[in-house]
Amino acid sequence: MSQYVFGVDIGGTTVKLGLFDVTGGLLDKWEIPTRTEDSGSKILPDIAESIKAKIDEKKIAKEEVKGVGVGAPGPIDSAGVVHKAVNLGWETFSIKETLEELLHMPVMAGNDANVAALGEMWKGGGQGSNDLIVVTLGTGVGGGIIIDGKVLTGATGAGGEIGHIHVQDGETEACGCGNKGCLEQYASATGITRLANKKLRESDKNSVLRQGEVSAKTVFDAVKEKDELAIEVAEEFGKYLGDALAVIASVVNPEAIVIGGGVSKAGEILLNYIRPNYEKNVFHGSRNAKFALATLGNDAGIYGAAKLVLDLK
C-alpha cells in the first residue's frame, strides 16, 4: 500500500525536492544543486541518488512509495518526453523512462509552470476548483491551464504558454521567445519595470519612482501610496493582463483564476487593476470566475509534481 510520493521541481540552479504523504502532507523538503554541465546529464542521476538517500534516511520501504513526479523548465509532452530544455542543457529524451530506470519506480513529468499550476489547484489558491487558469508573474510570465483537474499539456507539451500570447502589435523589442509583443514583455516583473521606466521618460509628472531604482515592487509600493504615475503604470499592466485573461477565459471557461509569482506579493491590490479589464471583455459565461492569489510560493512545483504521480491510476 503506497504511503509516500516524491515531488521534484528542477530549476536552472537548484532542484527542489519534497516528500509527501498520499493526502498531500509535506513531510520533508530539501534542495540540491542543478549540475547543468555535460548537457545536463548529471541532473537526473543526482535526483535519483538524493531520493534513494532520503528513502534510506526515513527508513521507508520502497514499495511504500507510489512514485516520483517531476517538473522541469521546457516543453514536456504527456508521455514524459522533454523537447529541449535550454536552461538545463537538455535535448530531446524521455525524463520518465530515464528516471524510472534509475529508480525502478513510476515517474511522471511535466512542464514546471504547468505542474506548479496543478499544485495551486490541489493545495494552494485554486483549491476547490477543477477548471483553472494559473498565471505566474515573475521574471517572466508562466502559466498553466487546468481542465477538469488535469494539466492542459497540448500536442507537443507547449500548452498554457500564457506569457507568450501576442498582446501588442508594433513592439520593437524582442521577447526571449523570439516574437515581439508577448504578454511577458508587459506583465512580468521585468515588464512592469520596463513600463514604468518608459512612463518616467515620457511623463514629467512627479513620482516617488524617480528616487532610486525602479522595480515591480517599488511600483506597487508607490501605488499603495497613491502615487499617480505608479497608478498609471499599474493601469497599463492591468489592461494587458486583464485583457489577456479575458481572451483565455473565453476559451477555457475557468472556475477560478490564480495569480502567483513574485509580483503577486503586492497582494489583493493587484487584482483591482486586473479584474475590471477582465470583466469588461470576457464572454458573459466566464464573467463570474473567481480571482485568487497563489499561496504556495516556491513550493507549488513540488506539490504539483507529487499530484502528477498521485493521479496515476
Q: Which is nearer to its own copies, 4 or 278 (CB)?
A: 278
The reply on whether position 148 binds its own copies by CB under 8 A is: yes
Angle between helices 269-281 and 216-224 (to 10 degrees): 90
Helix (H, G, I), strand (E, B) or coil at 90: strand
User: Which stretch, 3-11, 64-72, 147-155, 204-212, contacts its own copies (CB under 8 A)?
Assistant: 147-155
- DSSP secondary structure code for residue 309 in this structure: H
User: Which stretch, 25-33, 52-60, 146-154, 209-217, contacts its own copies (CB under 8 A)?
Assistant: 146-154
- DSSP secondary structure code for residue 88 in this structure: G
- Here the contacts of 199-202 (C-beta below 8 Å, separation 24 or greater) are 199/229, 199/232, 199/233, 199/236, 200/229
Helix (H, G, I), strand (E, B) or coil at 103: helix
Nearest residue to 134 via CA among 112, 156, 118: 118
Angle between helices 112-123 and 300-310 (to 10 degrees): 80
The reply on whether position 71 binds its own copies by CB under 8 A is: no
Gap between the Cα atoms of 173 and 182, Å rounded: 10
Q: Is the dihedral of CA 140, 15, 107, 46 positive or negative?
A: positive
Shortest Å distance, C-beta 9 to its own copies: 21
Q: Residues touching its own copies: how many (CB under 8 A)? A: 47
Select the residue interacting with its own copies from 281, 293, 297, 298 (CB under 8 A).
Answer: 281
Select the residue interacting with its own copies from 174, 203, 224, 283 (CB under 8 A).
Answer: 283
Gap between the Cα atoms of 205 and 224, Å rounded: 17
The reply on whether position 156 binds its own copies by CB under 8 A is: yes
Contact 8, 305 (CB under 8 A): yes
Q: Which is nearer to its own copies, 153 or 190 (CB)?
A: 153
Q: Which is nearer to its own copies, 18 or 157 (CB)?
A: 157
Gap between the Cα atoms of 226 and 126, Å rounded: 30
Q: Which is nearer to its own copies, 47 or 151 (CB)?
A: 151
Q: Which is nearer to its own copies, 34 or 286 (CB)?
A: 286
| Binding track, positions 111-130, relative to its own copies; x by CB under 8 A | ------------------xx
| Binding track, positions 178-207, relative to its own copies; x by CB under 8 A | xx-x--------------------------
Helix (H, G, I), strand (E, B) or coil at 91: strand
Helix (H, G, I), strand (E, B) or coil at 96: helix
Gap between the Cα atoms of 93 and 296, Å rounded: 30
Select the residue interacting with its own copies from 159, 238, 260, 301 (CB under 8 A).
Answer: 159
Q: Which is nearer to its own copies, 176 or 297 (CB)?
A: 176
Q: Which is nearer to its own copies, 49 or 171 (CB)?
A: 171
Q: Which is nearer to its own copies, 145 or 209 (CB)?
A: 145
Shortest Å distance, C-beta 119 to its own copies: 19
Residues lying near its own copies in the complex (CB under 8 A): 75, 78, 83, 129-131, 143, 145, 147-148, 152-162, 164-166, 177-179, 181, 243-244, 246-248, 250-255, 280-286, 289
